[in-house]
Amino acid sequence: MSSQATEYGYVFKYIYGMVGIVVIGAASVIFAFVNAQQADRDARARISAFHVRSTNLVEQLRLENHALAESLLVREPIDQMHTAAGVEQTRPDLNARLRTMTIQVGRLQDLQAMYGDAEFEATLQRIDERLASVAALAARDDDGGAQAGAIAMLDLAISQFHRQHVFAEDGLLSSIQTSLERQVPLLISIVAILIFSGIAAWIAIRLLKAAIERRVSVEEALAASQQRVYQMQKLEALGLLVGGVAHDFNNLLTAILGQAGLLLDTADQTEDARESLEEIVEAALQASDLTRQLLAFSRPQDQERRVLDLGDLVLGMTSMLQRVIGESVILQVHSEPNLDRVEIDPTQMRQVILNLAINARDAMPRGGTLTVTVDNLESTDDEEHAIVPEGRYVRMLVADTGVGMDEETQQRLFEPFFTTKPKARGTGLGLATVHGIVTAAEGHIFVTSRPGIGSVFEVCLPASDKPLDSTEREEPAHEEIVGSETVLVVEDDQQIRKFITNGLGILGYYVIAAPSAAAGIEVCEKEHAGIDVIVSDVIMPGMNGAEFLHKARELQPDAVTMFMSGYTDDILENSGIDDLDIPLLQKPFDIKAIAGLIRAELAKRDTD
Amino acid sequence: MRVLLAVLLASLLFGCSDSASNAEDQPRTLRMGVLPDQSEERLRLRYLPLVDYLEARTSLDIEFVPSSGYPELLKLFADGEIDIANFGGLTFAQAEAASGAEPLVMRDTDVAFTSCYIVRGDDPRDSIDEFAGDAFTFGPRLSTSGHLMPRHFMRLDGVIPEDLFSAVRHSDGHDETAKWVRDGEVGLGVVNCVILEALILEEQLSPGQIRVLVTTPTYGNYVWAVQPAMPADVRTELRDAFLALDARVPEERAILRALGANGYLPAGKTDFNDVRMAAAELGLIQEASAD
């Protein structure tokens, strides 16, 4: 995951933390709720126990009072209606009974004091008063009627007290029930809210997570895209640098090769000197090869683009590729029928394929499979390869089952001189060249790789609607390169100027050398005998090659003209030479090349 | 979630509003209604000493509100026109079902009220079954002691009066029932035991003329009931005033005599379980309450 994903990770942590706090809070509320319920119930249970104890005491008191009354009550006429005859009355020990009752009332008062319930206070007081009244009458041994009345009123007060307790307890139980009935829906509501909140939070988190993941994925794609652009820009900058260095180096090599060639052509050389010269030429040629590759990376200049079938090209290379990759690697080549055509220099495309194959071979030291597949690709904007502009492409996939590459290697892969191979084996220019060629052909190249699994190089070349070129052009035949025509060489580099002057001079030409465009114009003005050939460098201080030849052609309309340059195409593009339709000789070249071109151009002029 | 929260808050507020509203409508003047079982003049004579006693004993003003009949009494109570009323067992059950009347106090005799099955003094039969095929009379149809409860207990014993007796009649009052029995118009009748005692004490009947064959199980009957919204302190004040009535004090004895009581006892909803059930059986209230 990228750094953005890590940031969102913190967001998730916060969300989960908040949900956790809510859950803990809710759990605390429920705990407090249940705890309060329990405390409430306990309190009610204690009060209920109080009612029960009080009721039991009152019950005993009433029994005592009834016993007391039994002995004193005078039968009313109505009672006689229920019983056949009066029962012999025995007078009980009133004092003993009254003592017991006083103790019971005392207990009741203690019990009331313990709970301090004002509800029963008045009635309890009444019991006390009426018991005292009964006791007073008993002490006086008053008449039975007054005693019976007092006992009846005491009994009434006891009944009042008893019933008050019974109803209070009933009411208590009923209020507990009511309280539960009220609280249960409340609890259910709280639980429902919690469940609802939980579900809502879960959905919200899922939605948020999905949104963040989408965002992360977009940002990652964007970052990858920016990385690619950065890589491209880096490679382009490197290309400019390398191109500049290679140009200057080429000029030096041209001089070295030229001078060495002249010396070799001179007959009076000792054998030792000849060998030394040949080694110089060999080394210079190797160096020249190196600069050619550098130039191919920076911007291949001498492209000879042709419309071709990439599948046919790849299939045509099968046996050569098999030789290159060796027997331990299995080669598989697939090409889609009805492939679109592409426009590219076939020689350079072969180099691309070859370099990729060599790279794959080196990635599979213990053998494996190299698969080259060519097919058509229709790219739209929203597809995986957002970097490939919308359009039709021919895609070549070069896949190996080798050691693969890590992320860093993949990022630096196309840089010149970047190599993971042993020093003796790789120059670090193979894939840089591939990149240069593909980019010059307006194509794209990508790599996908996983260490231990293998790598896939994907080359996408724009499809061309032009008709197929039937055959490859033959290299122009080397004609006689000697001549006696007058040649004007305009070159600011003194070594090259000298090399060309000497070389063409040896071949019989009459060479006039000019160190600048201004000097060249002067020669053209003065040389009335006529100049046959004008060879000019393109980029020079002061007037450049294009401007010079433009004027020179006016002064010497019969002369054939040609450019020579060590610069890359994009620099030359701005130099104005395209407007003149003049052949360009790419540095470094040997004297035979320039002489051959001179002869070819002269022959062309003569036949016109 | 907002809806649920609103419901939760509303339920909390609603829960509080009950007790809050109680304090507001505390009556300074208490309006008293009674069963219109006598003329208004006689009712005033009977109840005004009680009104005076209550006013003296409490901080309340009591206003006596007469009513023309049981339905009006119930309506006045249901409309909140009266705050305290003296109901019979059945009318209480109806007031309770209709407007949540709550029992306050009862006479001592009312907590274990009974109905008496009476026969002529010279009738030798000992059980109700022996009167099968004879004529039988209840009291008035809406009388708790004369009809509702006797029929309820008969039903519990598996007796259907219409099946057992040759004729089932309804008198206009307990005294008429006693007279029909005494005069042999019916073999068996059922009356309010308290009224029967009064008839004997007043010597409208002599003990030899009528004999009590059997009494019903006890049940709660008359009750002073109050509005459910009456504040607890007013309720307690009223209750304690009733409970303090002392037969040994001459003025209070007169009040108790007029009301036919020896004293008052606290009343509870459970006192009316049987009445409630009986009323529901006869379809006189919607449904018997749980308690």
| pLDDT digit string, tens, across residues B144-156 | 999 999 999 999 9
Q: Chain A contact for B214, CB < 8 A? A: no
**In terms of domains, do B249 and B126 share one?**
no
Q: Chain B contact for A182, CB < 8 A? A: yes
Stated as kind and residue range, the H or E segment containing A464 is strand A454-464
Do the domain assignments include residue B261?
Answer: yes
Do the domain assignments include residue B286?
Answer: no
Stated as kind and residue range, the H or E segment containing B61 is strand B61-65
Do the domain assignments include residue B288?
Answer: no
Q: Using the beta-carbon criterion (under 8 Å), do B263 and A153 form an inter-chain contact?
A: yes
A-chain CB neighbours of B291 within 8 Å are: 170, 174
Region B220-230: mean pLDDT is 94
Please, are residues A602 and A533 in contact by the beta-carbon 8 Å criterion? yes
Q: Which residue has the higher pLDDT, A8 or A332?
A: A332
Q: Which of B8, B197, B263 sits opposite A189 (nearest CB)?
A: B8
Local confidence band at A474 (pLDDT 50, 70, 90 cut-offs) = very low
Q: Chain A contact for B264, CB < 8 A? A: yes
**In terms of domains, do A19 and A99 share one?**
yes
- Could you give the number of structural domains in chain A? 3
Pairing, β B29-33 against β A584-586 = unpaired
Q: Using the beta-carbon criterion (under 8 Å), do B266 and A186 form an inter-chain contact?
A: no
pLDDT digits (tens, 9 = 90+) for A402-425: 988 888 888 788 877 777 766 555
Q: Chain B contact for A77, CB < 8 A? A: yes
B228, B238, B289, B232: which is closest to B264 by C-alpha? B238
Q: Using the beta-carbon criterion (under 8 Å), do B11 and A156 form an inter-chain contact?
A: no
Q: Using CA atoms, how far apart are residues A77 and A83, in angstroms rounded to an integer? A: 10
Do the domain assignments include residue A290?
Answer: no
Please, are residues A488 and A477 in contact by the beta-carbon 8 Å criterion? no
Region B227-233: mean pLDDT is 92
CATH of the domain at B105: 3.40.190.10
Q: Chain B contact for A122, CB < 8 A? A: yes
Residue B74 has pLDDT above 70, yes or no: yes
Q: Using the beta-carbon criterion (under 8 Å), do A170 and B291 form an inter-chain contact?
A: yes
Region A126-147: mean pLDDT is 79
Query: b/e map of A222-259 (b: 16 or more CB within 10 Å)?
Result: eeeeeebeebeeebeebbeebbeebbebbbbbbbbbbb
Q: Using the beta-carbon criterion (under 8 Å), do B15 and A164 form an inter-chain contact?
A: no
**In terms of domains, do A9 and A109 share one?**
yes
**In terms of domains, do A353 and A459 share one?**
yes
Do the domain assignments include residue A246?
Answer: no
The two tokens of residue B284 are: 């006189």
Residue B128 has pLDDT above 90, yes or no: yes
Q: Chain B contact for A583, CB < 8 A? A: no
Per-residue pLDDT, B208:
87
**In terms of domains, do A437 and A518 share one?**
no
Residue A279 has pLDDT above 70, yes or no: yes
**In terms of domains, do A22 and A170 share one?**
yes
Per-residue pLDDT, B71:
87
**In terms of domains, do A169 and A59 share one?**
yes
Please, are residues A429 and A297 in contact by the beta-carbon 8 Å criterion? yes
Do the domain assignments include residue B58?
Answer: yes
CATH of the domain at A364: 3.30.565.10
Local confidence band at A7 (pLDDT 50, 70, 90 cut-offs) = low
Per-residue pLDDT, A425:
57
* Chosen from A51, A58, A126, A160 to mutate, greatest number of chain B CBs within 10 A: A160
B-chain CB neighbours of A185 within 8 Å are: 11
Q: Which residue has the higher pLDDT, A159 or B38?
A: A159
Q: Using CA atoms, how far apart are residues A63 and A477, in angstroms rounded to an integer? A: 148
pLDDT digits (tens, 9 = 90+) for A334-348: 888 888 999 988 878
Q: Using the beta-carbon criterion (under 8 Å), do A174 and B8 form an inter-chain contact?
A: no
- Which residue among A151, A185, A206 closes a domain? A206
Please, are residues A427 and A493 in contact by the beta-carbon 8 Å criterion? no
Q: Mind telling me how many Å the CA of A104 is from chain B's nearest CA?
A: 21
**In terms of domains, do B172 and B137 share one?**
yes
Per-residue pLDDT, B264:
95
**In terms of domains, do B119 and B106 share one?**
no
Residue A267 has pLDDT above 70, yes or no: no
- Span of A26-40, A270-284, A462-476 with lowest mean pLDDT: A462-476
Domain region containing A495? 486-607
Residue A254 has pLDDT above 60, yes or no: yes
Q: Which amino acid is at B158?
A: G
Cα B275 from chain centroid (whole Å): 9
Do the domain assignments include residue A391?
Answer: yes
Do the domain assignments include residue A240?
Answer: no
A468, A430, A458: which is closest to A305 by C-alpha? A468
Region B221-249: mean pLDDT is 92
Q: Using CA atoms, how far apart are residues A136 and A142, in angstroms rounded to an integer? A: 9
- Span of A1-10, A123-132, A518-527, B130-139 with lowest mean pLDDT: A1-10
Cα A326 from chain centroid (whole Å): 39
Backbone angles phi, psi at A392, to 5 degrees: -95, 140
Local confidence band at A90 (pLDDT 50, 70, 90 cut-offs) = very low
Of all residues in chain B, the one with the smallest CA distance to A164 is B266
Q: Which amino acid is at A599?
A: R
Mapped onto helix, strand or coil, the DSSP state of residue A567 is: coil
Per-residue pLDDT, B62:
94
Neighbours of A182 (CB within 10 A): 12
Local confidence band at A79 (pLDDT 50, 70, 90 cut-offs) = very low
**In terms of domains, do B128 and B178 share one?**
yes
Mapped onto helix, strand or coil, the DSSP state of residue B279 is: helix
Collect all residues with Cβ–Cβ distance below 8 Å to B72 and sequence separation of at least 6.
B36
Of all residues in chain B, the one with the smallest CA distance to A150 is B248
Q: Using the beta-carbon criterion (under 8 Å), do A160 and B11 form an inter-chain contact?
A: no
Do the domain assignments include residue B36?
Answer: yes
- Cα dihedral sign for A72, A78, A83, A84? positive
Per-residue pLDDT, A296:
67
Angle, vertex CA B26, rays to CA B235 and CA B47, nearest 5: 55
Q: Using the beta-carbon criterion (under 8 Å), do B4 and A189 form an inter-chain contact?
A: yes
Going by the DSSP 8-state scheme, the letter that residue B145 receives in this structure is I
Residue A519 has pLDDT above 60, yes or no: yes
The two tokens of residue A240 are: 């400019």
Per-residue pLDDT, B22:
44
The two tokens of residue A502 are: 């000497």
Pairing, β B264-266 against β B167-170 = unpaired
Backbone angles phi, psi at A292, to 5 degrees: -60, -45
How many inter-chain contacts (A to B, CB under 8 Å) are there?
76
Q: Using the beta-carbon criterion (under 8 Å), do A153 and B247 form an inter-chain contact?
A: yes
Local confidence band at B275 (pLDDT 50, 70, 90 cut-offs) = very high
Q: Using CA atoms, how far apart are residues A598 and A589, in angstroms rounded to an integer? A: 13
Length of chain A as a residue count: 608
Q: Using CA atoms, how far apart are residues B263 and B53, in angstroms rounded to an integer? A: 14
Per-residue pLDDT, A570:
53
**In terms of domains, do B65 and B135 share one?**
no
Per-residue pLDDT, A84:
45
Stated as kind and residue range, the H or E segment containing A510 is strand A510-514
Residue B70 has pLDDT above 90, yes or no: no
- Which residue among A206, A235, A255 closes a domain? A206
Per-residue pLDDT, A573:
65
Do the domain assignments include residue B232?
Answer: yes
Q: Chain A contact for B268, CB < 8 A? A: yes
**In terms of domains, do B32 and B68 share one?**
yes
Q: Mind telling me how many Å the CA of A119 is from chain B's nearest CA?
A: 8
A-chain CB neighbours of B200 within 8 Å are: 77-78, 81
CATH of the domain at A93: 1.20.120
Region B140-167: mean pLDDT is 93
Which residues are registered as beta bridge partners of B32? B64, B84
Residue A75 has pLDDT above 50, yes or no: no
The label of the residue with tokens 């059950």 reads B93
Local confidence band at B213 (pLDDT 50, 70, 90 cut-offs) = very high
Of all residues in chain B, the one with the smallest CA distance to A77 is B201
**In terms of domains, do A431 and A533 share one?**
no
Region B18-24: mean pLDDT is 43
Residue A202 has pLDDT above 80, yes or no: yes
Per-residue pLDDT, A172:
67
Length of chain B as a residue count: 291
Local confidence band at A297 (pLDDT 50, 70, 90 cut-offs) = low
Q: Which long-range contacts (CB under 8 A, 24 or more apart) does A582-590 make?
A: A582/A549, A584/A538, A585/A535, A586/A301, A586/A302, A587/A247, A587/A250, A587/A251, A587/A254, A587/A496, A588/A250, A588/A251, A588/A253, A588/A254, A588/A257, A588/A288, A588/A291, A589/A254, A589/A564, A590/A257, A590/A258, A590/A261
Q: Using the beta-carbon criterion (under 8 Å), do B265 and A163 form an inter-chain contact?
A: yes
Residue A480 has pLDDT above 70, yes or no: no
Neighbours of A131 (CB within 10 A): 22
* Chosen from A22, A124, A167, A182 to mutate, greatest number of chain B CBs within 10 A: A167
**In terms of domains, do A61 and A142 share one?**
yes
Q: Using CA atoms, how far apart are residues B122 and A591, in angstroms rounded to an integer? A: 169
Per-residue pLDDT, B51:
95
Q: Which residue has the higher pLDDT, B167 or A257?
A: B167
Do the domain assignments include residue A278?
Answer: no
Residue A486 has pLDDT above 60, yes or no: yes
Q: Chain A contact for B72, CB < 8 A? A: no
**In terms of domains, do B245 and B193 share one?**
no
**In terms of domains, do B175 and B36 share one?**
no
A169, A148, A143: which is closest to A58 by C-alpha? A169
- Could you give the number of structural domains in chain B? 2
Q: Which of A156, A174, A189 sits opposite B7 (nearest CB)?
A: A189
Answer yes or no: is the ipTM higher than 0.90. no
Pairing, β B102-107 against β A329-335 = unpaired
Do the domain assignments include residue B19?
Answer: no
Per-residue pLDDT, A214:
87
**In terms of domains, do B142 and B83 share one?**
no
The label of the residue with tokens 């899922």 reads A206
Q: Chain B contact for A29, CB < 8 A? A: no
**In terms of domains, do B98 and B177 share one?**
no
**In terms of domains, do A457 and A493 share one?**
no
- Which residue among B186, B215, B244 closes a domain? B215
Q: Using CA atoms, how far apart are residues A441 and A304, in angstroms rounded to an integer? A: 11
Per-residue pLDDT, B130:
93
Q: Chain B contact for A166, CB < 8 A? A: yes
Do the domain assignments include residue B276?
Answer: yes
**In terms of domains, do A522 and A570 share one?**
yes
**In terms of domains, do B88 and B229 share one?**
yes
Local confidence band at B14 (pLDDT 50, 70, 90 cut-offs) = very low
Q: Chain B contact for A78, CB < 8 A? A: yes
Residue A138 has pLDDT above 70, yes or no: yes
Region A59-79: mean pLDDT is 68
Domain region containing B38? 25-111+220-281
Do the domain assignments include residue A237?
Answer: no
Q: Using the beta-carbon criterion (under 8 Å), do B266 and A200 form an inter-chain contact?
A: no
Q: Using the beta-carbon criterion (under 8 Å), do A197 and B236 form an inter-chain contact?
A: no
Q: Which residue has the higher pLDDT, B74 or A430?
A: B74
Strands (E), B139-242: 167-170, 188-192, 210-215, 223-226
Residue B182 has pLDDT above 90, yes or no: yes
Q: Mind telling me how many Å the CA of B8 is from chain A's nearest CA?
A: 7
Neighbours of B6 (CB within 10 A): 10
Per-residue pLDDT, A141:
62
Q: Which of B4, B197, B212 sits opposite A196 (nearest CB)?
A: B4
**In terms of domains, do A416 and A546 share one?**
no
Do the domain assignments include residue A218?
Answer: no
Residue A369 has pLDDT above 50, yes or no: yes
Residue A545 has pLDDT above 50, yes or no: yes
Per-residue pLDDT, A323:
78
Local confidence band at A461 (pLDDT 50, 70, 90 cut-offs) = very high
Q: Which residue has the higher pLDDT, B75 or A165?
A: B75
Average pLDDT, chain A: 80
Please, are residues B191 and B185 in contact by the beta-carbon 8 Å criterion? no
Q: What is the pTM of this model?
A: 0.52
Give me the percent of chain A exceeding a pLDDT of 90: 8
Region B34-44: mean pLDDT is 85
Backbone angles phi, psi at B285, to 5 degrees: -130, 160
Region B105-124: mean pLDDT is 93
Q: Using CA atoms, how far apart are residues A29 and B190, in angstroms rounded to an integer? A: 62
Do the domain assignments include residue A361?
Answer: yes
Give me the percent of chain A exceeding a pLDDT of 70: 84
User: In chain B, count of helices (H) and strands (E)?
Assistant: 11, 11
Region B272-289: mean pLDDT is 82
**In terms of domains, do A450 and A496 share one?**
no
Stated as kind and residue range, the H or E segment containing A78 is helix A77-82
A-chain CB neighbours of B236 within 8 Å are: 119
**In terms of domains, do B99 and B120 share one?**
no
- Which residue among A160, A183, A206 closes a domain? A206
Q: Mind telling me how many Å the CA of B267 is from chain A's nearest CA?
A: 8
Of all residues in chain B, the one with the smallest CA distance to A196 is B1
Pairing, β B84-87 against β B223-226 = antiparallel
Q: Chain A contact for B243, CB < 8 A? A: yes
Which residues are registered as beta bridge partners of A599? none
